[in-house]
Structure 1
Amino acid sequence: MRKKKYCHVFSVPCYGDSPYLEELIRSLLRQSLRAHIILVSAGDSVFLRELSARFGLPLYLREGKPCLRDDWNFAYEKGAELAELVTIAHQDDLYDPDYLKAVLHAFSLYPDMSLFFCDCRTIDASGNVFSRRAEAVKRLLRLRLRNHERADRRSVKLSALRFGNGIICPSCCYCPSLCGTPLFQNSYRFIIDWDTFLRLSRRPGRFLSLEKPLLSYRVHGGAETARQIESHNREKEEEEEFRKLHGAFLAGILMLFYRRAYSAYGKDKKK
C-alpha cells in the first residue's frame, strides 16, 4: 500500500459565500499540532479562490451540481488520497485547538480506530454558547462507548445508534482503510450520517468517543438542519430508519419523542 503524505487532513466542503468559512479555517490553523487543510467544492467562485490564496490552502473542484452525498464523498476521497485519517470539517462550525491532538492520540492507542468523534458545545449565529437538550440525549446514547476496550464490538457500536444518532457528525474523523469507499452510500438528505454510522458499526473497526467538547456546533436559521425540519424531511427520514431498526410500532413511539426535539431546535435557532 502506498504510504500517505500525511497522517491526518481536514477536508472542508464549501458551499456558497459562507460568512462562517473563514472563522472555521482560522480555528483549524490554530490547532496545537500542525494541521493539513484542503478546501473542496462543486462550484468555483471568486470568494473561494481568494480564501484559498490568502490562507495558502489547496482548492479542489469537482464536476456536477452541489449534492450533500457527492460533496461529502468528494471531500472524503480527496482527503483519503493524502492522509490515513480524514475529518470532514463543516464550514459552519469551529474546532478547538486540541481536536487534532486528541484524534492522533486516540489513533496511537488504538490503530484499529475506524471512527473518532467527540462531544460538542452549541453556539448560535453570533458564536454565543447555549445549552440544548439534544446534547444530553446524545451523551446518554454514547454511554457504552466510554469503555474504549469494548468499543470494537458490534453491539457496543450499535448502542449509540439504535435509538437515535448519538454521534455528532462534524466531530468525526474517519479511517478510510477501515471505512472504505465511497463512505456515504445512501440517498438520504438529513440522516445521511446516521445511516452511514449504522453501516460502519457493522464493519470491523473501533468507535472511539471522547466525552470532551472539542467542537463548537453552530445552530442558525440558514443551517441545513433547520431547512430539513421545516420541510418535514427530517421527520420522514428518521421514522424510516427507526422502522428499519425496530418495526412500525416502536418507531411510532420513538417519533413522539423526536418531534419534541424538532420544536426545540426551532426555539434554539431564534436565540
Structure 2
Amino acid sequence: MKHVFVICAYKESPYLEECINSLIRQTKKSNIIIVTSTPNPYIHNMANKYEIDYYVNEGQGGITQDWNFGYKCALEKYHSEYITIAHQDDFYETNYLSTVLKEAEKASHPLIIFGDYYEIRNGCKVYKNRLLKIKRLMLLPLRIKILQKSKWVRRRILSLGSPICCPSVTFTTHNLPDVIFENHYRACEDWEAWEKISKLNGEFIYISRPVMGHRIHEDSETTAAIGDNKRTKEEYEMFCKFWPKMFARLLLKQYSKGQQSNQLNVDKLKKK
C-alpha cells in the first residue's frame, strides 16, 4: 500500500469518530490504522465498527512514543511509501490525500509534504487569525518550488518558530530515518523533528491552501503544555539550536505571545 493513515488515539476522544470518517471519505483511498497506548472499549469499538486494524503500544506511552510506534507499524506491516500521522481530534478534507500524493509524485526527492490548515474552535472553522497569518507569512518562501529544496531557506524559517502543522504532514518513508520523533519533548516534539529533517537532502513540499482542520480545545496536549509552562522551556531550547542564547530569549518573548491563540476565546476571530 502506497499510503497509510495512522490515527493515534488517546483515552476517549469525542472527536475520534469524526476524524475516522474524514479519512474514510477521502477521494483517494488508503489504509487506515489506529494505534494507542491507552487501550479501552471505546477505541476498540471504533476500530471494530469501521473495520480498522488496531494496534496497542505495550511499551512506554506518550505522544512521541505513540507517534513513533504508529509510524513503525505502518512501515513494517504495510511497507508504506507515505505515512500521515492523523491526530484523533482533527479533520481532513476529502481531497487531502489526493492533493498530497499529486504534489509528492511531481517532486524529485520529497521529505515531507504538508499543507495549510484552518482551526476548529467550538465547532467553528476559523481560517483567519493572527497566528495563522504569521504562519502563512513564514511559509511564503516555500510556495516557490525551487526553494523547497533549500536547506538554508527551511532552516531560516524554522529558526523563527514552527509554522508547520504537524497533523497536516505526510512523511516520505524511503527518504527519512525509521525514527522520526525524539521522546524528551511534550510540546515542541514536532518542531524538533522538522529541525532534524531540515538537514537532509530533499524537498519540504508546501501546499498553500487549507487541506485539513486542526482542533483547538482545552483538553488538547498543547493547551496542557501551555498551562504548566512546559512549552516555553522547550521553545527556548529550540531557538537555541539556531541562535545565541541572548537572541533566543528575545525571540522567545515574541513567539510566546502565539500561545494565546490556543485559548478558546473566539470573539475576535474571523469565521468562515
**With structure 2 as the length reference, what TM-score do the two structures score?**
0.93
Summarize the alignment of residues 188-267 of structure 1 with structure 2, pairs less than 5 Å apart: 188-266=185-263
- Return the letter of the residue paired with 1:226: T
- Give the secondary-structure state (helix, strand or coil) at the position aligned to 2:123: coil
Change (3 A) 1:44 1:267: closer
Query: Which moved further from structure 2: 128-137 or 27-36?
Result: 128-137
- Distance apart, 1:84 and its partner CA: 0.3
For 2:229, the aligned partner's letter is H
Aligned partner of 1:3 in structure 2 is none
Unaligned runs of 5+ in 1: 1-5
Counterpart of 1:14?
A: 9
**Distance in 2 between residues matched to 1:143 and 1:130, nearest whole Å:** 17
CA distance in 2, matches of 1:108, 1:223: 34
CA 1:264–1:136 in 2, change beyond 3 Å: closer, same or farther? same
Alignment of 1:128-139 (within 5 A): 128-129=125-126, 131-139=128-136
| Alignment-derived partner of residue 96 in structure 1 | 93
SS in 1 for 2:214: strand
Describe the shift of the 1:32–1:89 C-alpha distance in structure 2 as closer, same or farther (beyond 3 A). same
Q: What amino acid maps onto 2:23 in structure 1?
A: L
Instruction: Name the amino acid aligned to 1:238.
Output: E
Question: Offset of 1:64 from its aligned partner?
Answer: 2.7
Aligned residue number for residue 78 of structure 1? 73
Equivalent residue of 1:151, what SS? helix
Q: Does residue 167 of structure 1 match 2:164?
A: yes
For residue 37 of structure 1, give the secondary structure of its aligned residue in structure 2: strand
Give 1:22's aligned amino acid: E
Q: Is 1:154 aligned with 2:151?
A: yes
Contact 1:145 1:160 (C-alpha < 8 Å) held by counterparts: no
* TM-superposed deviation, 1:79: 1.5
Q: How many angstroms does 1:44 deviate by?
A: 2.1
C-alpha distance in 2, partners of 1:118/1:189? 23
Alpha-carbon spacing, 1:130–1:140, altered in 2? closer, same or farther (3 Å) = closer
**Residue type matched to 1:71 in 2?**
D
The superposition leaves residues 162-188 of structure 1 with CA deviations (integer Å, 9 ceiling, x where unpaired) of: 100021111000012111111112511
CA distance 1:153–1:186, change in 2 (3 Å): farther
Q: Distance in 2 between matches of 1:214 and 1:117?
A: 9
Aligned to 2:32: 37
Distance 2:54 2:191 in 1: 28
Give the equivalent residue in structure 2 for 1:57: 52
What secondary structure, in the 3-state scheme, does the structure 1 residue paired with 2:70 have? helix
Letter in 1 for 2:18: E
1:2-29 CA-to-partner distances (Å, cap 9, x unmatched) read xxxx111100111001100000000011
1:121 to 114, 118, 123: 118
Separation of aligned partners in 2, 1:120 and 1:130: 8
Count of equivalent residues? 266
Q: CA RMSD in A?
A: 1.7
Q: Give me the whole-angstrom Cα distance separating, in 2, the residues matched to 1:47 and 1:239.
A: 38
What is the CA deviation profile of residues 120-177 of structure 1, one whole-angstrom value per residue up to 9, with x for unaligned ones? Answer: 0111142443632111111111111111223122112213211000211110000121
